Chain A
């Protein structure tokens, strides 16, 4: 696309007077911002890791006992398969990590549709940009809705609950947690919430982009670069989720 027209000889590209990376300042800013945001999430995930490994696991305290017999306790960090096993409309069936798997798939799929929107922008195909942006927005909302359901389930807990300080407690909040140490719920709410906030702002940005594209703003401008910039952010949010998913649900 645009870079093909550049007349600057390659050996002079860093000699000033032109964009050495053949990228406009807006996209550079987005990249730099994403680097910064990487450190925000890294700090949170490393904090999570530090607290998580300061607690024993179920098998540390019950050597030789199979994970099949796992039960919730304040003494050990919970096993994610035991916590996240519910799926909407399938009440009472244990399907470990199925729902979060679906959520992850939806988010990754919305990244794919975002790529298609960017590609359509390169072709200056307004109708396709609109179509793929709509799919991306839909994916974002579905992810957020799923997260809301998962939070709801996490907050209300299982019918059995757990004994905390001699009181039967169901579900989790920032102070009590039936599934294990409070820190587990604290970090779960904080990190998935912080990520969800990012997704939400991504959806808002996507809607703005869709609105502008539909109104022909980018067509008039002659390029769909804004779709690409917001696309970068959207892929980043997706990538962060992969890490959150890995650390909260798989490890």
Chain B
């Protein structure tokens, strides 16, 4: 950082720095540049998303077509497909459990945590607040490489002989604590825990960097009430991660001791094959409390960055100021705070005191308020806007749709009484896949389409973007809408096959339908990936500000090391001055002073002109040691 802040002081020093080229390894692999690290996160996230998505196809095939001959998967899955005497291939039931576990783990942590907030926090925080780089480029680099190491351990676990972890992504003990409980509870589970411990380190290193960068490195004039909502969202996300992940870390360490050193933190009174285990006094419910103290904030770690991106994309492409800027900030702050005190709504049926259940139910339902504020603010921002339907905009609107329809079922599930019926059914699966799966991935895709020109200097193909959007949007609803009915009908999660229950026979066609829709939605991503890869190399060259957007990243063309070739622009106004009355242009970027736009200034903005000269004189305090 010392090197980077020096640039602020002395532009010449910066230019000198430009001359000596970094080696390939330092520039693209062990890079400390936030933009490169963001791309590393993005590409790792996309690779993981492909793996996680293909896994879901395999288990959806099993669920939708239980009698399907899977012999054709033998070359890939090997021993996990057994061929019967008649030559019919069947998926191993234990591997089915491993698949759903890995699908959940990969999507929640590796795609929608690292891939989403890792990419966009890294890319946008310095660019949108007007900083040369993150506070510590080195710690930022470490963060990515811890994530990479974690990825490698998780990836290796897929190939061990007993299979990867198979106890569900929530890894509840005793299933996850006893190696005999399930093939996946052996070495696969150990690797899972190691990978997650590394992941938590990575998340912490990233998080402390994001928070300190936002506090210390905002450019002149970028007060907190002028920050784009993306930055607010990333900051809240980082705080959630910093405070919630360590609790999972503790739980994982305790679980490692239970698994490997004979302790009884989570184990008590267990019989395996008629043999009593010596473990006494632990509590498996304790693990659930610790897990969900992370697990619930994790949901918001996933959705908040997506919501922040959506705010930015919707305001830009509606050519209107975001409706309720401060309400958006307070809603996100409210969601962040509430995230820490609702975890037990995942545990209504664990035998918890019903009174405690009502308390958690009340707190949970309160989340509907800030969430609804956000949804209404998106809709009112769109209302009567000059909407430009870029692919990013479509995905952002898609997010709002999913956030509303998935959020509504959250109100149903938050009721402790209704949850008795719906707990661990496909209703829950449908709910969270819409509200944090589809919504978050739509936010991520909106972000990729929107900031691709700034990331790679080229445009993505819009037509392919539209095809990608409509196919993904429709097929996602076709997957998850019918899933609610299946859930209400009582289908439990994590079952390999239901053909043994006569009651469920009448839903076989619906399950087959879901599978077909799921395959279409996964296949549609091929359009995106080919568009993405093609556009990196062959896309149309992008102008500096293709969406006529107000935020600072669009004031630098093809940013190199240090982001702005000259001095960092000073910020004078909030980021949402779109279609301002009496202004000749329909957007006024943040770095345009009020003194140069007298025709469109509001009375209180005219008063702010007096401060502009003083703000320009603000100096980074070099006497404070870093």
B177-185, B277-285, B324-332, B478-486: which one contacts chain A? B277-285
Contact present for A35 and B243 (CB under 8 Å): yes
Taken together as a complex, chains A and B put the C-alpha atoms of A26 and B242 apart, in Å, by 16
Which residues of B in the span 240-276 have a Cβ within 8 Å of any Cβ on A? 242-247, 249-251, 253-254, 257, 261-265
CB of B21 closer than 8 Å to a CB of A: no
Is there an interface contact between B623 and A51, defined as CB atoms closer than 8 Å?
no
Stretch of B45-53, B209-217, B375-383, B487-495 that contacts chain A: B209-217
B136/A25 in contact, CB under 8 A: yes
Q: Roughly how many angstroms separate A33 CA and B626 CA in the complex, as a whole number?
A: 16
Scoring A8, A44, A50 by chain B CB atoms within 10 A of each residue's CB, the highest score goes to A44
Residue contact B281 to A54, C-beta cutoff 8 Å? yes
What does the 1/0 interface line of B210-234 toward A look like (CB < 8 Å)? 0111011111111110000000000
Inter-chain CA distance A47–B251, complex, in Å, is: 9
Complex contacts, A33 vs chain B, CB 8 Å: 204, 208
Instruction: Enumerate chain B residues within 8 angstroms of A194, measured Cβ to Cβ.
Output: 253
B366 interfacial contact with A, CB 8 Å: no
Contact A182 B264 (CB under 8 A): yes
Q: Tell whether B290 is near chain A: CB-to-CB under 8 Å.
A: yes
> In the complex, how many angstroms separate the beta carbon of A36 from the nearest chain B beta carbon?
5
Bound Cα distance from A20 to B223, whole angstroms: 10
B217 to chain A: closest residue by CB = A25
- Please tell me if B115 contacts chain A, counting CB pairs below 8 Å: no
Number of B positions contacting A (CB below 8 A): 62
Judging by beta carbons under 8 Å apart, are A18 and B263 in contact?
no
Flag if A28 contacts B621 (CB, 8 Å).
Answer: no
Asked if residues A51 and B215 are in contact (CB atoms below 8 Å), the reply is: no
As a 0/1 sequence over residues 80 to 113 of chain A, the CB contacts with chain B under 8 angstroms (1 = contact) are 0000000000000000000000000000000000
- Residues facing B in A25-57 (CB within 8 A) are 25-26, 28-29, 32-33, 35-37, 39-44, 47, 50-51, 54-55
Q: Is the CB of B254 within 8 A of A190?
A: yes
Given B136, B204, B245, B290, which contacts A47 in the complex, CB threshold below 8 Å? B290
Report whether A26 and B620 are in contact in the complex, using a CB–CB cutoff of 8 Å.
no
CB distance from B549 to the nearest CB of A (A): 20
A251 at interface, CB cutoff 8 A = no
* CB-CB under 8 A for A2 and B286, given A39-B243, A174-B261, A190-B263: no
Q: Is the CB of B623 within 8 A of A6?
A: yes
Q: Residue of B at shortest CB range from A7?
A: B619
Question: Does B578 have its Cβ within 8 Å of any Cβ on chain A?
Answer: no
Give the one of A28, A186, A223 with max B CB within 10 A: A186
**CA A182 to CA B207, docked complex, whole Å:** 37
Distance between Cα atoms of A20 and B220 in the complex (Å): 12
Hey, which chain A residues are within 8 Å of B224, CB to CB? 14
> Interface on chain A toward B: helix, strand, loop, or mixed SS?
helix
Q: Mark A46-79, 1 if CB is under 8 A from B, else 0.
A: 0100110011000000000000000000000000
Task: Output the nearest chain B residue to A15 by Cβ-Cβ distance.
Answer: B223
B444 CB-CB contact with A under 8 Å: no
Residues of B within 8 A of A223 (CB): 625
Asked if B223 and A43 sit within 8 Å, CB to CB, the answer is no
Q: Which single member of B1, B250, B279 contacts A25 (CB below 8 Å)?
A: B1
Indicate if the CB atoms of A24 and B282 lie closer than 8 Å.
Answer: no
Q: Are A29 and B135 in contact (CB under 8 A)?
A: yes
**B242 contacts across to A, CB distance below 8 A:** 32, 35-36
Q: Name the residue in B207, B217, B257, B625 with the highest tally of chain A Cβ atoms < 10 Å from its Cβ.
A: B625
Residue A40 contacts which of B209, B218, B247, B624 (CB distance < 8 angstroms)? B247
CB of B615 closer than 8 Å to a CB of A: yes
Q: Which residue of B lies closest to A44 (CB)?
A: B250
Given A18-B619, A51-B283, A186-B257, A24 contacting B216 (CB threshold 8 A): yes
Q: Is the CB of B249 within 8 A of A16?
A: no
Residue of A at shortest CB range from B268?
A183
- Chain B residues lying within 8 Å of A167, measured Cβ to Cβ, are none
Task: Please tell me if B442 contacts chain A, counting CB pairs below 8 Å.
Answer: no
Residues of B within 8 A of A44 (CB): 250, 254
How many angstroms from the CA of A23 to the CA of B212 in the assembled complex? 10
* Chain B residues within an 8 Å CB radius of A201: none
Q: How far is the CA of A224 from the CA of B621 in the complex (A)?
A: 17
B625 near A14: Cβ-Cβ < 8 Å: no
Q: Is B86 an interface residue (CB 8 A)?
A: no
Q: Would you call A22 an interface residue if the criterion is a C-beta within 8 Å of the partner chain's C-beta atoms?
A: yes
Assess whether A202 is interfacial by the CB under 8 Å rule. Answer: no
Contact A174 B263, beta carbon cutoff 8 Å: yes
Between A7, A16, A182, A221, the greatest number of chain B beta carbons within 10 A of the residue's beta carbon is seen for A16
Q: Which of B208, B244, B249, B293 contacts A29 (CB 8 A)?
A: B208
Tell me the chain B residues, 281-300 only, with Cβ under 8 Å from chain A: 281-283, 286, 290, 293
Question: Which residues of B in the span 182-220 have a Cβ within 8 Å of any Cβ on A?
Answer: 204, 207-209, 211-213, 215-220
Q: Is the CB of B212 within 8 A of A25?
A: yes
13 inter-chain pairs at a CB distance below 8 angstroms, sorted by A residue, are A16-B571, A19-B215, A28-B212, A29-B136, A32-B208, A32-B212, A36-B208, A36-B243, A36-B245, A39-B246, A40-B250, A47-B254, A181-B280
Q: Enumerate chain B interface residues (CB-CB to A < 8 A).
A: 1, 129-130, 135-136, 139, 204, 207-209, 211-213, 215-224, 242-247, 249-251, 253-254, 257, 261-265, 278-283, 286, 290, 293, 570-571, 611, 614-615, 618-621, 623-626
Chain A contact residues, CB within 8 Å of chain B: 2-3, 5-9, 12, 14-26, 28-29, 32-33, 35-37, 39-44, 47, 50-51, 54-55, 174-175, 181-183, 186-187, 190, 194, 221-223, 225
